[in-house]
Amino acid sequence: MTEEEVPNTTFLKSVVIILGILIIGVAAAIGVILYKRATATPQAEAAQAAEAPLAVSQTLSVVQRKFGDIDIKAPEGMSAIGVTISDDRLLVIYGTDQATPKVVVILSQKSGEEIGRIRL
C-alpha cells in the first residue's frame, strides 16, 4: 500500500483561531456596551447634557443671565395662565384671563431659547 501525503493545514488552523478570537472579542464588547447602557442613571445623562449651556440670541424675547436663570418677557397686557412640558420643550400659555388663552410661547428647556409662538 502506498501512503498518501497529508495536506498542510497550518494556515487554515491559524485562520480559524484568529476568527475565533475576533468573535469572542466582539461579543465581549457588545456585552460591555449593553451593561453600561442598562446601568446608566438618568442623573449622569442629564449632567452630561447640562455641561455646556447654549447661548441665547439677543434678538429673542428670552434673556439668559446664567445657566438655569431665564427671564421670559410676557406679551403686553397678558399674564401666564398655564405651563406645560412636552419632550424638551416648555410651553407657556398667556392670556388676558384664565378662560381666554391668546398666545403659546414655546421654549427650549436646554438653552432657554424661544423656539416659536402660537397665536390663538
The mean-pLDDT minimum among 16-30, 41-55, 89-103 falls in: 41-55
The residues pairing with 116 across neighbouring beta strands, listed in sequence order, are: 106
Considering only CA atoms, which of 104, 110, 113 is closest in space to residue 62?
Answer: 113
Residues written for the chain = 120
Which has more confidence, 2 or 88? 88
Q: 0.85 cut: is pTM over it?
A: no
Q: Say if residue 72 is exposed, middle or buried (CB neighbours under 10 Å; 0-12, 13-18, 19+).
A: middle
- Judged against a pLDDT cut of 50, whether residue 35 lies above it is answered with yes
Reported confidence tier of residue 55, pLDDT bands at 50, 70, 90: very low
